Amino acid sequence: MAASLVDPNVQRVIFIRHGQPWTGEADPALSPAGHAMAAAAASWAAGLGWPLARVLHTATRRTGQTAEALVAQIDAPVDVVWAEPLSLEDWELLVDGQRAPHPFGDRSMPRPPPAPFAYVGHHTTLTFLLQLCAASVPAGLHARAWAAGLALERRAGRWLIVAGWPGVAQP
């Protein structure tokens, strides 16, 4: 597993769906149960041992709070992403945007390997990623689960789920 961390042909991303929010608000915060779910998902992500370069999340309170739980366990900068990736093109733009620039600005030189990062989002992105990686979805992962997590790798242009966290099923 460690060898692929420096392989320029492999991209690693951790995706976590936010924990359970309070209901009845336009931009709800996490409920107490949601905070516990976010902490459990963060522990799972930290246990992967991937050295994350950053943690991205959508511009909602619940994803921000879930990202904070991850950052409490993995020391990485946090940034807001203003658009949620819901298609392969959007996802690839998000992922490829995390690559380092060409060394010394010289486009003839290969770009450094992409660093693993985490993205905290919503069930719509989780649904999209499960469909994208249908052949590698671990048993027990459902698109509507709170704080579900995916460890994804892109190899030879193909995305695979290499590990999953089932989160908590919605009632």
- The domain containing residue 71 runs over which residues? 9-101+113-165
Residue 34 lies in a domain: yes
Residue 107 lies in a domain: no
Structure tokens belonging to residue 100? 């380092």
User: In 3-state terms, the chain is what percent helix, strand and coil (to 5)?
Assistant: 35, 20, 45
Residue 170 lies in a domain: no
Residue 137 lies in a domain: yes
pLDDT along the chain (171 residues), means of 10: 55 96 91 96 96 94 97 92 91 81 67 80 95 92 93 92 93 71
Helix, strand or coil for residue 52?
A: coil
- Residue 113: per-residue pLDDT: 58
Tell me, what CATH number does 128's domain have? 3.40.50.1240
- Residue 2: per-residue pLDDT: 41
Structure tokens belonging to residue 17? 């769906």
Total structural domains in the chain? 1
Give the residue among 9, 5, 1, 12 at the shortest CA–CA distance from 117.
12
- Residue 78: per-residue pLDDT: 93
